[in-house]
């Protein structure tokens, strides 16, 4: 669900061949990007304004004839989303940047790209800052409507409105540690471990085109559109190593019957080219069990069962901690504090390794619980991305 905290961009055309960045938060330095014939090439260690440039490049590449005539811009940015905290500050900036670029280049907004097209495009443009994300953040930021949550499916992108129980309230708490997923390989490593697990299982099933399998969802479709629960059984059957044992690079090459060059091309990404160990079974078990919890969560919402919602959130955090290994002591301690204070459930949110915990509680218990917790903000489902033009359409 979308939160009330936001990223704001005030933008205007410039007669200079540059993008001039200003931020009201002075810890984010002013910057001038000179527009040249060659589009910004991307980076793996992004500065704050380069998230904007990632979206800017992505939009220009998709607008006919626009790459040859990008317009200058003056930009003032401000955000109320805590940075590097797992609540999508970077994705919010990328989405806002894409819509800003469309508006400056064309004088239009969602007539050029629908909100769904904007969501899919911005998910891909984050690759220019070295993050191979899945697109959930961008989808909800673009598609959310006030008062409802969304169940999001991919390939193709689909979304289903979900009404939360009327007594459900979410508290977001910061664990005290920050983590910028764009500056480490942690997140990308999990992506490739899931990919390799899917490719090995595809190979074992007799698929000749295992290189085309990119996700565990692709694998489930390949095996006959199996459910997440059925796929969990497949993981247990096909990945025979215990969860506490990694696969070596050499073992994977042998199983896939491939060479180093093809392995790098079809399985890895820029931040994982040198990895030698891969934790495949536990990553795949996490993804499929988490997918099953999504459907169970939706069903519990239909039944108005907030207690069950809390149990599912607790199971989710345990899986993030033990199988996906994207938690940290600070996050675990914050989850425990929430549960001891009387919350029904709590889990890390975002990529992990720092940032925020989201906790579920019954609204009627809010006053008692907030006495024991340092809540960063309370949240209910909010509106997604919006744009306003001034009278001169500049």
358-372 pLDDT per residue, tens: 999 999 999 999 999
Q: Of the candidates 198, 238, 189, which has an alpha carbon nearest to the alpha carbon of residue 221?
A: 198
The reported pLDDT for the residue numbered 392 is: 62
Q: Of the candidates 344, 264, 349, which has an alpha carbon nearest to the alpha carbon of residue 306?
A: 344
The reported pLDDT for the residue numbered 66 is: 66
115-135 pLDDT per residue, tens: 999 999 999 998 899 877 778
Q: Which residues of the chain have pLDDT under 70?
A: 66-68, 181-183, 391-394
For the question of residue 137 being annotated catalytic, the response is yes
Chain Cα centroid distance, residue 26: 26
Exactly one of 25, 137, 218, 362 is catalytic; name it: 137
The reported pLDDT for the residue numbered 380 is: 86
CATH code for the domain defined by 7-159: 3.30.230.10
pTM of the model: 0.87
DSSP string, 197-266: HHHHHHHHTT-TTGGG--SHHHHHHHTTS--HHHHHHHHHHH--S-TT-PEEHHHHHHHHT--HHHHHHH
Q: Of the candidates 105, 109, 91, 71, which has an alpha carbon nearest to the alpha carbon of residue 181?
A: 91
Q: Where in the chain do CATH 3.30.70.890 domains reside?
A: 164-183+306-379
Q: Where in the chain do CATH 1.20.1440.340 domains reside?
A: 186-284
What kind and span of H or E run contains 348?
strand 345-348
Q: Of the candidates 377, 386, 335, 341, which has an alpha carbon nearest to the alpha carbon of residue 357?
A: 335
The reported pLDDT for the residue numbered 340 is: 97
CATH of 164-183+306-379, one of 3.40.50.10490, 3.40.50.720, 3.10.105.10, 3.30.70.890: 3.30.70.890
Q: Distance between CA 19 and CA 245 in Å, rounded? A: 49
Q: Of the candidates 168, 190, 213, which has an alpha carbon nearest to the alpha carbon of residue 378?
A: 168
The reported pLDDT for the residue numbered 130 is: 83
CB 203 within 8 A of CB 256: yes
Phi first, then psi, for residue 101 (nearest 5°) are -65, -45
Burial of 283 (0-12, 13-18, 19+ CB in 10 A): buried
Q: Where in the chain do CATH 3.30.230.10 domains reside?
A: 7-159
CATH class of this structure's domain 186-284: mainly alpha
């Amino acid at each position: 669900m979308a939160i009330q905290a936001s990223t704001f961009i005030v933008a205007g055309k410039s007669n200079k061949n540059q993008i001039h960045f200003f931020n009201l938060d002075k810890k984010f330095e002013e910057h001038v990007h000179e527009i040249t014939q060659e589009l910004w090439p991307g980076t793996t260690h992004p500065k704050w304004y380069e998230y904007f440039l990632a979206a800017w490049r992505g939009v220009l590449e998709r607008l006919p004839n626009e790459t040859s005539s990008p317009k200058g811009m003056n930009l003032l940015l401000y955000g109320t989303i805590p940075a590097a905290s797992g609540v999508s500050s970077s994705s919010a900036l990328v989405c806002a940047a894409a819509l800003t670029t469309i508006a400056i280049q064309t004088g239009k907004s969602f007539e050029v790209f629908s909100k769904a097209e904007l969501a899919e495009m911005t998910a891909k443009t984050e690759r220019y800052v070295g993050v191979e994300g899945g697109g959930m953040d961008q989808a909800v930021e673009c598609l959310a409507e006030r008062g409802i949550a969304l169940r999001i499916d991919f390939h193709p992108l689909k979304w289903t409105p979900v009404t939360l129980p009327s007594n459900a309230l979410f508290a977001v708490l910061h664990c005290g540690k920050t983590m910028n997923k764009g500056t480490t390989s942690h997140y990308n490593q999990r992506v490739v471990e899931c990919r390799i697990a899917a490719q090995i299982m595809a190979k074992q099933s007799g698929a000749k085109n295992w290189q085309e399998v990119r996700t565990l969802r692709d694998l489930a479709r390949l095996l006959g559109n199996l459910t997440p629960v059925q796929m969990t059984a497949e993981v247990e059957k096909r990945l025979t190593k215990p969860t506490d044992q990694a696969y070596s690079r050499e073992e994977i090459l042998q199983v896939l019957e491939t060479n180093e060059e093809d392995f790098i091309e079809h399985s890895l990404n820029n931040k994982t080219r040198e990895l030698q160990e891969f934790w495949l079974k536990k990553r795949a078990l996490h993804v499929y069990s988490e997918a099953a919890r999504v459907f169970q969560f939706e069903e519990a919402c239909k039944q108005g069962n907030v207690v069950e919602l809390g149990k599912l959130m607790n199971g989710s955090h345990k899986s993030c901690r033990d199988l996906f290994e994207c938690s940290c002591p600070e996050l675990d301690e914050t989850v425990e504090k929430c549960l001891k204070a009387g919350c029904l459930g709590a889990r890390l949110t975002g990529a992990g390794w720092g940032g925020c915990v989201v906790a579920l509680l019954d609204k009627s218990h809010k006053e008692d619980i907030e006495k024991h917790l340092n809540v960063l903000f309370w949240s209910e489902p909010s509106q997604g991305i919006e744009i306003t033009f001034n009278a001169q359409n500049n």
